[in-house]
C-alpha cells in the first residue's frame, strides 16, 4: 500500500511513522511536505504526532490551514483513508474531518506512558485485523488528549460505532484510573461517519518492535494495509 | 584598515573604572583591557568584555585545572575546544555529547530557565552536525518542606518537558534530589547526545577569508542581556529583579532550526557553525574567528530584530534563543538561504571573514567595536586562585552512631519503609512521566532503570547513558566524593552491559573567590581525573558553574557526571529488574559500604563520618567483569547499590514493571545485619540475578578479577522481600510506598 506521511513544521513522529511503515512493516511510504498540494498517489494519508506550528495557539489550529490540508480534506471526501495520531487527531478535529475536540489533560500535565485500549469496533478499515473487545497496549504522550464532544453527539457516535478505541485497564475494564487524561467516556480514538477517517491519541507507530516495548501498533497498520490488498 | 577608536552611539555612557565594576569587571581586569587595546574601550566594547571575561564564558578560575583532565583515547573524535565532545561509537557513527548548567536562570524563573537550558544544550549538539537523539538532566532542589521547592520543581519539570517534548528529542534518564542545602540555589544540569556520521561532523572554526557570515534563526530581542554575567555572580535579596536576564524559549523555532541546520549541513556549503548561546552574537562570532586564527567584520544593521531601537550594545549582548551563526562557502550562501527559507527561518548575510584577526562591528557604517580577536577569548584573564582546605574536612569527626545495630525486626523494617518514602529514593515517575521518552524510536530502556539504553538504527550496537552526582559524599570529601560519582555512573552503564567510553561533566560549586570553595573544586577535578584515567573514559566536554551561593552560603560541591557507554549488541542489554523465579541472587563488590553521606544518614540525622575508601583498579575490574558477563548473556539483571543501600536496591530489583517478583536472601558472609549492611552505600556493590546453571561461570568472571562474589539467595514468584530475619515485606506494599512518596507530598498541604 502507498502511504503518505504529512510533515508539518513541528511534526515529531513523522520520522517514526516512516520508520514503522517502511523499515519495519515493509510498506511503501513517503513524506508529504505541508506546502505541497498533491498527495503523490497515496492510498492512505497519515497525519503524525508532534506540535505542529508549536501548538502555541490551540493544538492543530494552525496546521489545518496548511496548503496540504485542502487536498487531505478532498481526499477524505472522496472516501480516501486518513489516519491521525496524537497531533494528527487534533488536526483532524480542528479541520472538522472528525467530531469532537481534544483539550488539556485532567492532570494539566503532559503524560508519557503505555496504556491499555479496548477495540470497540473491529469492523472498520483501521481495526479489521483485530477483534471487538481485544485489548491493545500502546503508548500515549500528550498534554492535550482529553476528548470532548456534546452529549448528544457522543450518544449518536456510540450508536453508529464511531468510538473505535477506549482506555481500559489490563483486563479490559473501564475504570477511573485507567483513563489517563480524563477523556469523556474514556474515548481514545474515533472515526467519522463514513469510517474512512480515524483519529487516535495513542501512537501505534511507537509499538511495532518488541525491542522498544511492544508490537500491538502493527495491528492498526496491518488492518489498513490488509484492506487494500 | 581602521584600528582607531570606535565611535560612540547615542545612549552610550562614559566608560570608566566604576562603570567597569558595575559590569562585574575588577579594576585590574579593566586596566588589562586598556593595556590590550591601548585605549579606553567604547561603551559597546565594555559590554562585550564584561560578558566574554565573565566566569561563565571565560572559565578564568577553572581553565588551569580543567586542562589536567584526560581528554584523549583512540575513540575520541573531538575533545574539548568545540561546542561539544565526540566519541566513536562504531559502524561509522560518532556520539556528540555535553552537559551544561542552567542553575541561576532556573532559580529566578524556573520554567523558562530550565526550558532554555534544554534548548541551549541541544544547539551545542546539532551545531556539530549531529541529530540530537537523547536528553537527560540532573536536578537539585531544596528540601521538600521548603516553601519554594514545589513551585521550583513544577516549573523546572514543566520547562524541561515543555521544551524537550516540543522539539522531539526524548528525555531518557535523569536524577532528582531534594536537600536543604539547595534551598536558595537549585541546580539544573541538562545533557544532550546526538549522532552524526563521523565524516560529516561540522566545526566551529572559521575558514576562508572573504567567506560570508550568515545569521540564521530567530530575530534578536532584548531578552537575556547579561545572562552570562548573572551566572557569574552570587544571589542576594535582589535576585528576583534579575528575571529580565532570563531568556524565553521557543521550542517550535528550535525544532525548525534543527531540521534546517542539518539539511543545510548536507549541502556541503557550511564552513563553520556555532550557536549564539551565552553572550550571543559576540561569543559566536569572536570564538569562530579565534579558532580559525582569522578576523570577522559584521554589520549590525543587518541583524534581524524583534523590535526597533536596539543599540549595538544590546544586539551584541542579547541572549535571545534559537539563533545560529554560520560561515558559508563564498558563492554558496544562496543554497543555504533556500534551505532556511523552506523552514520559514531568517538567514541573512551580516558580514565576512577577514584576515586581520580583528573583531570589528559596524553600525550605520561606523565602527562601534574594533578589538583583537584574541582579546575576547585567549587573552581573557586566567586566575590561579588560592585554595585552602576548610577546617572541618581536614579534621573529620567520626559520628558516634555510625555503626549502630539495627536491633529487632521493627527498626530494619521501618528504616526500609522510611527510605522508600524518602523523595530521594522514591520513584520519580511523577517527573519522568511528563517527558516524552520514546520519540525517534530508539529508546530501548527509558527512565526508571540504572541506565538508559538506546539503539542505533541500522547497527547492532547500543548506547547506555547515565547521569549521576553525590553532593553529600563530596561535602565530606570532595576528592573521594568525585571519584565515587564517576565510579557509580560508570558502574551503572556497565550494569546495562555497556563499556564506558566517555565522560562529560558539569561542575557546580560556590564562589571560587573563596579559598575553601576553590579547594573543593580543585579536589573535585583531581578525583574526576583519577577516575577517568582508571576507566579509560576521557572527559571530552563539560561546563563549570560557580557562584552557586546565596548570601555567603554555598551549595555542597556538586560535580555532575554523565557517562556514555557502548554495547556491541543492544539486544544483550541488561536491566536492574529480577526476571525469573528461581534465579540466583548474588552480590559483587569491591569494598565495604559506609553509612557516611548515605540517604540513611540523612533520613536519621547522622552527620559526618568518613567515606569508604575506593580502589580504582578494583572498580575498573568490576566494570570489565560486568560487561563481559552481559556480552556472554550470563547476567539476567544487574542493579548498582545507590541511595538507600542494599535493602532498597533489593526492593527496586523486585519492582519489575512487567511483573513484580520477590526475593529471599540472607546476607550471611556478606554482612552481619548492621545498619551499614542493609543501608550503607558505596560506589561499587552490584546485585546480580543469574540463571542457576550459569552461577559458576559468573563467579569465575568476578573471582578471576579478585572481586568479592557471594550468592545470597534467590528470586521468588511470591512477591515478598525477605532479607535474613530482619525484613519480610510484601513487595507490592513496598512499591506502593515507593510510588506514592512524591505524589503524596505534592498533593499534601495547600
A81-135 pLDDT, tens digit per residue, is 999 999 999 999 999 999 999 999 999 999 999 999 999 999 999 999 999 999 9
- The yes-or-no verdict on residue A229 having pLDDT over 70 is no
A-B Cβ pairs (cutoff 8 Å, strict)? 86
Task: Specify the pLDDT at position B402.
Answer: 47
Task: Specify the pLDDT at position A60.
Answer: 85
- DSSP H helical ranges for A99-189: 151-160
Q: Which residue of A has its CA nearest to B446?
A: A212
- The yes-or-no verdict on residue B696 having pLDDT over 90 is yes
- The yes-or-no verdict on residue B406 having pLDDT over 70 is no
C-alpha dihedral over A80, A86, A90, A92, to 10 degrees? Answer: 0
CB contact under 8 A, B251 and A51: yes
Task: Specify the pLDDT at position B670.
Answer: 59
Strand order in the sheet with B346-354: B270-275, B323-328, B212-217, B346-354, B295-299, B358-363, B366-372
Residue in this structure with the C-alpha cell 541546520, named with its chain if needed: B261
Shortest Cα–Cα distance, A30 to chain B (Å): 17
Nearest CB to B433: which of A50, A113, A205?
A: A113
CB contact under 8 A, B436 and A112: yes
- The yes-or-no verdict on residue B279 having pLDDT over 90 is no
Distance from C-alpha of A62 to C-alpha of A176, rounded to nearest angstrom: 33
CB contact under 8 A, A50 and B433: no
Nearest CB to A141: which of B158, B436, B571?
A: B436
Distance from C-alpha of B562 to C-alpha of B506, rounded to nearest angstrom: 8
Nearest CB to A109: which of B344, B434, B436?
A: B434
Phi, psi of B275 (to 5 degrees): -80, 155
Shortest Cα–Cα distance, A170 to chain B (Å): 12
Q: Read off the pLDDT band of B401 (50, 70, 90).
A: very low
Question: Mean pLDDT across the stretch A64-81?
Answer: 95
Q: Read off the pLDDT band of A228 (50, 70, 90).
A: low
- The yes-or-no verdict on residue B229 having pLDDT over 80 is no
Inter-residue contact B215 to B323 (CB < 8 Å): yes
Mean pLDDT for chain B overall: 92
Mutate to test the interface with A, among B132, B150, B168 (most CBs of A within 10 A): B168
Nearest CB to A9: which of B165, B343, B441?
A: B343
Q: Can you spell out the DSSP letters for B283-338? A: HHHHHHHHHTT-EEEEEGGGS-BSSTT--HHHHHH---SSEEEEEEPTT-HHHHHH
- The yes-or-no verdict on residue A13 having pLDDT over 70 is yes
Question: Mean pLDDT across the stretch B553-580?
Answer: 97
Q: Which residues of A touch B433 (CB under 8 A)?
A: 109-113
Residues across chain A: 229
- The yes-or-no verdict on residue B395 having pLDDT over 50 is no
Task: Specify the pLDDT at position B394.
Answer: 43
CB contact under 8 A, A211 and B165: no
CB contact under 8 A, A12 and B443: no
Distance from C-alpha of B446 to C-alpha of B428, rounded to nearest angstrom: 12
CB contact under 8 A, A110 and B434: yes
Task: Specify the pLDDT at position B683.
Answer: 61
- The yes-or-no verdict on residue B222 having pLDDT over 90 is no
Nearest CB to A51: which of B252, B344, B444?
A: B252
Residues across chain B: 750
A222: left (phi over 0), alpha (psi -120 to 50) or beta: alpha
Q: A186-195, A205-214, B385-394, B653-662: which has the minimum mean pLDDT?
A: B385-394
Mutate to test the interface with A, among B250, B439, B462, B575 (most CBs of A within 10 A): B439
Task: Specify the pLDDT at position B747.
Answer: 87
- The yes-or-no verdict on residue B1 having pLDDT over 50 is no
Q: Which residues of A touch B439 (CB under 8 A)?
A: 12-13, 16, 141, 206
- What lies within 8 Å, CB to CB, of B331 at 6+ separation is none
- The yes-or-no verdict on residue B180 having pLDDT over 80 is yes
Q: Which residue of B has its CA nearest to A139?
A: B438
Considering chain B, what percentage of its residues have pLDDT values greater than 90? 82
Shortest Cα–Cα distance, A78 to chain B (Å): 30
Shortest Cα–Cα distance, B230 to chain A (Å): 29
CB contact under 8 A, B441 and A139: no
- The yes-or-no verdict on residue B147 having pLDDT over 50 is yes
CB contact under 8 A, A12 and B571: no
The cell for B644 is 538507600
- HSE-up (13 A, CA, CB side) for residue B165: 24
CB contact under 8 A, A141 and B158: no
Question: Mean pLDDT across the stretch B495-508?
Answer: 98
Distance from C-alpha of B72 to C-alpha of B75, rounded to nearest angstrom: 8
Inter-residue contact A118 to A168 (CB < 8 Å): yes
Inter-residue contact A20 to B441 (CB < 8 Å): yes
CB contact under 8 A, A143 and B256: no
- The yes-or-no verdict on residue A80 having pLDDT over 80 is yes
The cell for A167 is 482506555
Q: Which residues of B348-384 are buried (b: 16+ CB within 10 A; e: fewer)?
A: bbbbbbbeeebbbbbbeeebbbbbbbbbbbebbbebe
Task: Specify the pLDDT at position B56.
Answer: 87
Q: Which residue of B has its CA nearest to A213?
A: B444
CA distances in angstroms from B477 to A167, A177, B65, B474, B544, listed in the order given? 51, 46, 18, 5, 19
CB contact under 8 A, B434 and A112: yes
0.90 surpassed by pTM: yes
Shortest Cα–Cα distance, B431 to chain A (Å): 10
Secondary structure of chain B: what % helix, strand, coil (to 5)?
40, 25, 35
CA distances in angstroms from B644 to A69, B606, B749, listed in the order given? 55, 14, 27
Q: Read off the pLDDT band of B599 (50, 70, 90).
A: very high
Shortest Cα–Cα distance, B157 to chain A (Å): 10
Question: Mean pLDDT across the stretch A48-74?
Answer: 91
Task: Specify the pLDDT at position B238.
Answer: 64
CB contact under 8 A, A9 and B165: no
Considering chain A, what percentage of its residues have pLDDT values greater than 70? 99
Shortest Cα–Cα distance, A73 to chain B (Å): 24
> In whole angstroms, what separates CA B331 from the centre of its chain?
39
Q: Which residues of B touch A206 (CB under 8 A)?
A: 438-439, 441
- What lies within 8 Å, CB to CB, of B605 at 6+ separation is none
Q: Which residues of A touch B251 (CB under 8 A)?
A: 51, 54
Tens of pLDDT, residues B301-350 = 999 999 888 999 999 999 899 999 999 999 999 999 999 999 999 999 99
Which residues of A have a catalytic role annotated? 86, 203, 205
Q: Which residue of A has its CA nearest to B445?
A: A212
CB contact under 8 A, B441 and A206: yes
Mutate to test the interface with B, among A8, A12, A34 (most CBs of B within 10 A): A12
Which H or E run includes B619?
helix B616-631
Mutate to test the interface with B, among A211, A213, A218 (most CBs of B within 10 A): A211
Task: Identify which has the larger pLDDT, B399 or B214.
Answer: B214
- The yes-or-no verdict on residue B707 having pLDDT over 50 is yes
Tens of pLDDT, residues B64-104 = 999 999 999 999 999 998 899 999 999 999 999 999 999 99
Phi, psi of B325 (to 5 degrees): -115, 135
Burial of A74 (0-12, 13-18, 19+ CB in 10 A): exposed
Which residues of B have a catalytic role annotated? 56, 102
Mean pLDDT for chain A overall: 96
CB contact under 8 A, B161 and A141: no
Nearest CB to B435: which of A55, A112, A206?
A: A112
Shortest Cα–Cα distance, A11 to chain B (Å): 8
Between strands B171-178 and B131-141, the pairing is parallel
- The yes-or-no verdict on residue B409 having pLDDT over 70 is no
Question: Mean pLDDT across the stretch B535-542?
Answer: 97
Q: Which residues of A touch B455 (CB under 8 A)?
A: 211-212
CB contact under 8 A, A12 and B439: yes
Q: Which residues of A touch B255 (CB under 8 A)?
A: 9-10, 12, 51
DSSP state of A19: I
Distance from C-alpha of B46 to C-alpha of B156, rounded to nearest angstrom: 33
For chain A, how far is it from start to end, CA to CA, in angstroms? Answer: 8
- What lies within 8 Å, CB to CB, of B416 at 6+ separation is B647, B648, B651, B678, B727, B729, B734
Shortest Cα–Cα distance, A169 to chain B (Å): 14
Q: Which residues of B touch A113 (CB under 8 A)?
A: 433
Q: Which residue of B has its CA nearest to A36?
A: B342
CB contact under 8 A, B434 and A10: no
Distance from C-alpha of A87 to C-alpha of A92, rounded to nearest angstrom: 9
- What lies within 8 Å, CB to CB, of B691 at 6+ separation is B580, B583, B584, B634, B636
Q: Which residues of B touch A116 (CB under 8 A)?
A: none
CB contact under 8 A, B438 and A109: no
Tens of pLDDT, residues B411-446 = 888 999 999 999 999 999 999 999 999 999 999 999
Which H or E run includes B166?
helix B149-167
ipTM of the complex: 0.96
Task: Specify the pLDDT at position B379.
Answer: 84
Distance from C-alpha of A121 to C-alpha of B103, rounded to nearest angstrom: 51
Tens of pLDDT, residues A166-201 = 999 999 999 999 999 999 999 999 999 999 999 999
Q: Read off the pLDDT band of B725 (50, 70, 90).
A: confident
Nearest CB to B252: which of A56, A206, A212?
A: A56
SS (H, E, C) B257-269: HHHHHHHHHHHCC
Q: Read off the pLDDT band of B750 (50, 70, 90).
A: very low
Amino acid at each position: 500500500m502507498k502511504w503518505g506521511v504529512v510533515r508539518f513544521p513541528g511534526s515529531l513522529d513523522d520520522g517514526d511513522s516512516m520508520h514503522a511503515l517502511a523499515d519495519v512493516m515493509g510498506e511503501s511510504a513517503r513524506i508529504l511536505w505541508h506546502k505541497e498540494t498533491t498527495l503523490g498517489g497515496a492510498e492512505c494519508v497519515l497525519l503524525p504526532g508532534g506540535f505542529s506550528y508549536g501548538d502555541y495557539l490551540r493544538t492543530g489550529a494552525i496546521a489545518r490551514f496548511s496548503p496540504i490540508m485542502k487536498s487531505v480534506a478532498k481526499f477524505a471526501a472522496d472516501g480516501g483513508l486518513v489516519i491521525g495520531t496524537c497531533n494528527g487527531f487534533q488536526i483532524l478535529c480542528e479541520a472538522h474531518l472528525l467530531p469532537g475536540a481534544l483539550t488539556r489533560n485532567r492532570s494539566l500535565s503532559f503524560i508519557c506512558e503505555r496504556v491499555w485500549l479496548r477495540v470497540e469496533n473491529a469492523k472498520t478499515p483501521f481495526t479489521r485485523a483485530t477483534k471487538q473487545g481485544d485489548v491493545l497496549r500502546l503508548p500515549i504522550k500528550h498534554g492535550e488528549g482529553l476528548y470532548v464532544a456534546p452529549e448528544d453527539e457522543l450518544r449518536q457516535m456510540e450508536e453508529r460505532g464511531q468510538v473505535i478505541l477506549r482506555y481500559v485497564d489490563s483486563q479490559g475494564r473501564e475504570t477511573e484510573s485507567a483513563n489517563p487524561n480524563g477523556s469523556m467516556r474514556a474515548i481514545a480514538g474515533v472515526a467519522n461517519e463514513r469510517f474512512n477517517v480515524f483519529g487516535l491519541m495513542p501512537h501505534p507507530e511507537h509499538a511495532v518492535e518488541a525491542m522498544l516495548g511492544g508490537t500491538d501498533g502493527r495491528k492498526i497498520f496491518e488492518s489498513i494495509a490488509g484492506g487494500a490488498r | 584598515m581602521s584600528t582607531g577608536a570606535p565611535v560612540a552611539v547615542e545612549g552610550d555612557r562614559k566608560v570608566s573604572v566604576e562603570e567597569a565594576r558595575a559590569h562585574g569587571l575588577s579594576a585590574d581586569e579593566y586596566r588589562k583591557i586598556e593595556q590590550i587595546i591601548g585605549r579606553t574601550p567604547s561603551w559597546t566594547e565594555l559590554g562585550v568584555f564584561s560578558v566574554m571575561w565573565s566566569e561563565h564564558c571565560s572559565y578564568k578560575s577553572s581553565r588551569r585545572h580543567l586542562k589536567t583532565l584526560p581528554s584523549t583515547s583512540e575513540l575520541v573524535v573531538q575533545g574539548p575546544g568545540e561546542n561539544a565532545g565526540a566519541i566513536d561509537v562504531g559502524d561509522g557513527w560518532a556520539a556528540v555529547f555535553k552537559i551544561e548548567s542552567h542553575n541561576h536562570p532556573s532559580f529566578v524563573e524556573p520554567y523558562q530557565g530550565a526550558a532554555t537550558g534544554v534548548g541551549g544544550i541541544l544547539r551545542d549538539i546539532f551545531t556539530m552536525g549531529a541529530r540530537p537523539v537523547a536528553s537527560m538532566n540532573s536536578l537539585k532542589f531544596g528540601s521538600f518542606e521548603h516553601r519554594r521547592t514545589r513551585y521550583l520543581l513544577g516549573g523546572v519539570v514543566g520547562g524541561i518537558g515543555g521544551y524537550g517534548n516540543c522539539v522531539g528529542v526524548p528525555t531518557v534518564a535523569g536524577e532528582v534530589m531534594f536537600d536543604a542545602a539547595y534551598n536558595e540555589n537549585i541546580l539544573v544540569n541538562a545533557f544532550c547526545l546526538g549522532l552524526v556520521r563521523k565524516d560529516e561532523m561540522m566545526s566551529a572554526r572559521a575558514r576562508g577569508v572573504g567567506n560570508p557570515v550568515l545569521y540564521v534563526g530567530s530575530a534578536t530581542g532584548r531578552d537575556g542581556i547579561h545572562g552570562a554575567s548573572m551566572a557569574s555572580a552570587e544571589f542576594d535579596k535582589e535576585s528576583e529583579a534579575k528575571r529580565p536576564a532570563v531568556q524565553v524559549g521557543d521550542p517550535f523555532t528550535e525544532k525548525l532550526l534543527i531540521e534546517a541546520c542539518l539539511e543545510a549541513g548536507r549541502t556541503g556549503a557550511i564552513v563553520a557553525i556555532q550557536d549564539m548561546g551565552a553572550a550571543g552574537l559576540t561569543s559566536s562570532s569572536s570564538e569562530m574567528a579565534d579558532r580559525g586564527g582569522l578576523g570577522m567584520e559584521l554589520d549590525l544593521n543587518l541583524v534581524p530584530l524583534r523590535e526597533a531601537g536596539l543599540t549595538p550594545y544590546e544586539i551584541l549582548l542579547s541572549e535571545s534563543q534559537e539563533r545560529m551563526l554560520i560561515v558559508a562557502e563564498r558563492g554558496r550562501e544562496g543554497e543555504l538561504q533556500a534551505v532556511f527559507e523552506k523552514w520559514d527561518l531568517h538567514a541573512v548575510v551580516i558580514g565576512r571573514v577577514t584576515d586581520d584577526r580583528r573583531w570589528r562591528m559596524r553600525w550605520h557604517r561606523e565602527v562601534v567595536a574594533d578589538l583583537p580577536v584574541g582579546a575576547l577569548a585567549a587573552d581573557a584573564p586566567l586566575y590561579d586562585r588560592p585554595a585552602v582546605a576548610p577546617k572541618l574536612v581536614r579534621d573529620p569527626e567520626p559520628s558516634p552512631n555510625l555503626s549502630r545495630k539495627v536491633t529487632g525486626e521493627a527498626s530494619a523494617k521501618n528504616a526500609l519503609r522510611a527510605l522508600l518514602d524518602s523523595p530521594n529514593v522514591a520513584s520519580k515517575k511523577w517527573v519522568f512521566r511528563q517527558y516524552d521518552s520514546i520519540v525517534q524510536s530508539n529508546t530501548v530502556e527509558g527512565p526508571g532503570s540504572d541506565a538508559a539504553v538506546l539503539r542505533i538504527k541500522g547497527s547492532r550496537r547500543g548506547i547506555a547513558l547515565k547521569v549521576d552526582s553525590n553532593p553529600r559524599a563530596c561535602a565530606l570529601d570532595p576528592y573521594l566524593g568525585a571519584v565515587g560519582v564517576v565510579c557509580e555512573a560508570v558502574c551503572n552503564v556497565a550494569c546495562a552491559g555497556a563499556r564506558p567510553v566517555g565522560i562529560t561533566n558539569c561542575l557546580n560549586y560556590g564562589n571560587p573567590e573563596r579559598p575553601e570553595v576553590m579547594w573543593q573544586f580543585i579536589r573535585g577535578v583531581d578525583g574526576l581525573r583519577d577516575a577517568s584515567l582508571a576507566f579509560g573514559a576521557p572527559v571530552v566536554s563539560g561546563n563549570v558553574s560557580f557562584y552557586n551561593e546565596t548570601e555567603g552560603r554555598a551549595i555542597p560541591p556538586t560535580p555532575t557526571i554523565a557517562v556514555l557507554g557502548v554495547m556491541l549488541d543492544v539486544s544483550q542489554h541488561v536491566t536492574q529488574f529480577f526476571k525469573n523465579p528461581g534465579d540466583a541472587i548474588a552480590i559483587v563488590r569491591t569494598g565495604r559500604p559506609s553509612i557516611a553521606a548515605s540517604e540513611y544518614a540523612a533520613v536519621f540525622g547522622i552527620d559526618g563520618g568518613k567515606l569508604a575508601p575506593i580502589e580504582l583498579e578494583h572498580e575498573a575490574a568490576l566494570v570489565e567483569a560486568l560487561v563481559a558477563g552481559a556480552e556472554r548473556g550470563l547476567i539476567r539483571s544487574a542493579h548498582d547499590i545507590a541511595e538507600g543501600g542494599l535493602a532498597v536496591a533489593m526492593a527496586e530489583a523486585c519492582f519489575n514493571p512487567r511483573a513484580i517478583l520477590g526475593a529471599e536472601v540472607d546476607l550471611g558472609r556478606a554482612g552481619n545485619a548492621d545498619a551499614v549492611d542493609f543501608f550503607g552505600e558505596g560506589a561499587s556493590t552490584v546485585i546480580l540475578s543469574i540463571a542457576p546453571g550459569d552461577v559458576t561461570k559468573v563467579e569465575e568472571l568476578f573471582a578471576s578479577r579478585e572481586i568479592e562474589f557471594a550468592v545470597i539467595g534467590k528470586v521468588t514468584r511470591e512477591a515478598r522481600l525477605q532479607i535474613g530475619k530482619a525484613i519480610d515485606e510484601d513487595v507490592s506494599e513496598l512499591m506502593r510506598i515507593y510510588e506514592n512518596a512524591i505524589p503524596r507530598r505534592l498533593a499534601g498541604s495547600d
